[in-house]
Amino acid sequence: MGILMKIPKKITPDRIRDSIVELRYRSEIPYEVLTGIFFQEIKDRFKYSNRPLGQQQFPIGVPTLPQEITLSFGGISLFHNDQIKIQIQPNSIIFNCVDQYRGWEHYKIEIFEALTSFHKCGIIAYSRIGIRYVSEYPHMDLADCVNFSFSFGLPSIKSDSYSFRSEFRIDHYKVILNLNNKLPIVMGSDKEIVPTSLVDLDVIEEKDDDDSLENIFNRLEQAHSKEKELFFQLLKESFLKSLNPEY
């Protein structure tokens, strides 16, 4: 974007609900066999489940917007430990945090170790990678959080709740940005409906087949850096200061 700014190493609270990493892979081994081989590789470190993990939170009455990296972690082939969960699909492997996001430095160690095991299972190459972070802000208006304003042909009307989606390219990345203001979301064991604003940022890199695991690790690091850079550029300076940034 051409704007130089200091990027915080940490903010408190970070409000990250989902931290999704997806890689598209190619293998000549059938998906069902691949899943079994992978489980043999990781069974000492991961458990298997065929049910969604963690508490699901859903906006009420809001249509689901198409997104490059899915948020579906139900169904088959779900592996987890106390830090991450892994879902294997016929052409992709998807990672997400289990409950609390513990920071990229911890998260990437788990991902890289799992990918090293996965690579041994007959993976020929990887193509697309993506990193998608979803941050939630209960009882907050986006106007107080991000550098964004929403208006339309009725200037006297103020929208209490809205959704905005944008796709654009920056450097060699495709970026999908979804901003949702004060969506009614069911939260907690008591099913309370909470007006919640969401910042949903998806950074995608597509390349020809890459069979080097070292290259994949580097690409993930770079994509994460771009994700982080874009996220902090979105935030209002006053709001960022309220998050106790550490540099």
- In order, the DSSP letters of 82-140 are SSEEEEEETTEEEEEESSS---HHHHHHHHHHHHHHHHTTTEEEEEEEEEEEEEEEET-
Q: In this structure, what token pair is assigned to residue 57?
A: 């939170």
Would you give the distance in Å from CA 207 to the centre of its chain?
20
Dihedral sign (CA 35, 36, 37, 41): positive
Local confidence band at 97 (pLDDT 50, 70, 90 cut-offs) = very high
Local confidence band at 174 (pLDDT 50, 70, 90 cut-offs) = very high
**Residue 188: per-residue pLDDT:** 80
For residue 199, what are the CA distances in angstroms to 2, 18, 65, 108, 122? 22, 11, 13, 22, 37
Residue 33 has pLDDT above 80, yes or no: yes
pTM, rounded to two decimals: 0.86
State how far the Cα of 196 lies from the Cα of 137, in Å rounded to an integer.
5
Preceding peptide of 13 cis, ω within 30°: yes
- In order, the DSSP letters of 203-223 are EEE--S-B--HHHHHHHHHHH
**Residue 74: per-residue pLDDT:** 43
Judge whether 21 and 131 are in contact, CB under 8 Å.
yes
| Average pLDDT value over all residues in the chain | 87
% pLDDT > 90, the chain: 69
**Residue 71: per-residue pLDDT:** 43
Closest CA to 68 of 19, 125, 130: 130
**Residue 68: per-residue pLDDT:** 53
**Residue 77: per-residue pLDDT:** 67
DSSP conformation class of 237: H
Structure confidence by residue, pLDDT tens digits, 106-142: 999 999 999 999 999 999 999 999 999 999 999 999 9
The burial of 142, by beta-carbon neighbours within 10 Å (0-12 exposed, 13-18 middle, 19 or more buried), is given as buried
Residue 1 has pLDDT above 60, yes or no: no
Local confidence band at 64 (pLDDT 50, 70, 90 cut-offs) = very low
CA dihedral 144, 69, 85, 48 (to 10 degrees): 150
Dihedral sign (CA 157, 163, 165, 170): positive
Structure confidence by residue, pLDDT tens digits, 180-236: 999 998 888 788 999 999 999 999 999 888 889 999 999 999 999 999 999 999 999
